[in-house]
Chain A
Amino acid sequence: MKKIRFTINGEVRECEVEDDERLLDLIREDLDLRGTKEGCGQGECGACTVLLDGKPVVSCLTLAVKVNGREVTTIEGVSKKGKLHPVQEAFIEKGAVQCGFCTPGMVMALVPFLSENKDPAREEVRKAIEGNLCRCTGYEKIVDAAIYASKKMREVER
């Protein structure tokens, strides 16, 4: 067992974790944050995507001990004061959610991408979500939602 101290969704937490525990299990089982999903468990589907120091990583291949002293953001942490993030709103408004299993991972890949790329082309959005599989939507509506979200985010900034 190892003791780790890290920030999750803005809150500092101390936890005891197994040496070889995955960040995914720390998040879902120990912290009971069930928004992050496990799909393949091999880095290929992106359903388990979270932000580590602001960058998207797959939590299924990340050891929990690695986040000691660092900052983790999960899907539960992207809405602010009960208000959904513009990316989440755009997913709903553009019908980019079908079964919803891929959605948290998609949102976590898009949030940092769209904050760095204010006016992305569709091709760039596709590349940003190349590590996220969706078995339902055929991706078009997800790309629509991302483009729409970028517009919303530009308006918020103005």
Chain B
Amino acid sequence: MSIRVEIPNTLSELWELLSYEGARIIAGGTDLMVRIRAKVEKPSLLVDIVRLPEFRLFENREDIFSIGATLTHAELLKKDLPGVLHDAISTIGSPQIRNMGTIGGNICNASPAGDSILPLYLYDANVVLLSKNGERRVPIGEFIKGPGKIDFRKGEALLKIVFTNKYKDYKYIFKKIGKRVAMTISVVSMGLIFKLENDIIKDIKIAYGAVSPTVVRIREAEEYLKGKPIEDKVLEEAKSIIQKNISPIDDIRATGEYRREVAGNLIFLLKDAYGKL
């Protein structure tokens, strides 16, 4: 097999290495090493970017977040992140995987079950791609095109993720359903942020993971729920809207039918959250 591996120390070295045929970025390696060993991928050159300081910056300035792509999940859990993003990241893998895996790797892997990706859809985050020609900014929902498919051009690297937390006074729910508690890839995951006013839903954003080719926002259910109280009748209707807007498939972890049922039922968690307010 023998793959060449290089660890650039400067951006100009990075651009040169990325220009080679068959070059591939590696960060934590928790996805790529598994895929290479399974012979699903055969890059001829791995370019390890974890030593480049440009990719490791973290900023939260007046609620504008900027998260460097090679920050690991464990590093991010020590930062002051919005609750829904913190909770989602805390469910990834194990301490070992969180010490190695990066948020940029999670996004570029573009799994519909990618746990850090889901909250980023709630905040309409943008990803910033860097190449020797400069930066390109793309909404996350456009960057991720399908399972494992991203809008990525030769010579680019994911530099950072940026979003504004306009929803600081919102409550949140993140729920991941897997086959077991620890080390589990989602069978279904749901994240939402919402705001109540006089017992009425003033605003809500809902995203689901693992039930469609990519993480999805269910905007029709968001619109429906706005202005409504949290009641069984309302949630029943929201459930059917959600089920209409997803396209879960059968795989080794669960059947599509099961996923659809669970996904719909998860919206009832709003009742628990409401009860506790």
A18–B96 contact, CB under 8 A?
Answer: no
Q: Pick the interface stretch among B1-9, B121-129, B253-261.
A: B1-9
State whether the Cβ of A141 lies closer than 8 Å to any Cβ in chain B.
no
Question: Within the assembled complex, what's the spacing in Å between the Cα atoms of A76 and B3?
Answer: 30
Tell me the nearest residue of chain A to B32, going by C-beta.
A61
Closest Cβ of chain B: how far from A68's Cβ, in Å?
7
- What does DSSP make chain A's interface, helix, strand, loop or mixed? mixed
Closest Cβ of chain B: how far from A84's Cβ, in Å?
23
B93–A131 contact, CB under 8 A?
Answer: yes
Question: Within the assembled complex, what's the spacing in Å between the Cα atoms of A57 and B183?
Answer: 14
State whether the Cβ of B46 lies closer than 8 Å to any Cβ in chain A.
yes
Residues of chain B lying within 8 A (CB to CB) of residue A55: 74, 99
Question: Within the assembled complex, what's the spacing in Å between the Cα atoms of A132 and B147?
Answer: 28
Taking A19-B2, A56-B95 as contacts, is the C-beta distance between A130 and B182 under 8 angstroms?
Answer: yes
State whether the Cβ of A109 lies closer than 8 Å to any Cβ in chain B.
yes
Question: Within the assembled complex, what's the spacing in Å between the Cα atoms of A20 and B43?
Answer: 11
User: Which A residues are closer than 8 A to B by beta carbons?
Assistant: 2, 18-20, 22, 41-44, 46, 49, 52, 55-58, 60-63, 65-66, 68, 109, 113, 126-128, 130-132
Taking A41-B37, A66-B7 as contacts, is the C-beta distance between A20 and B1 under 8 angstroms?
Answer: yes
A-B CB contact pairs (8 Å), 18 listed: A19-B3, A20-B36, A20-B46, A43-B97, A46-B96, A56-B99, A57-B96, A60-B33, A61-B33, A63-B29, A66-B7, A66-B29, A127-B182, A130-B94, A130-B181, A131-B95, A131-B96, A131-B183
State whether the Cβ of B57 lies closer than 8 Å to any Cβ in chain A.
no
User: Which of A19, A49, A57: most chain B Cβ within 10 A?
Assistant: A57
Closest Cβ of chain A: how far from B253's Cβ, in Å?
14
Tell me the nearest residue of chain B to A108, going by C-beta.
B96
State whether the Cβ of B48 lies closer than 8 Å to any Cβ in chain A.
yes
Tell me the nearest residue of chain A to B90, going by C-beta.
A127
A130–B95 contact, CB under 8 A?
Answer: yes
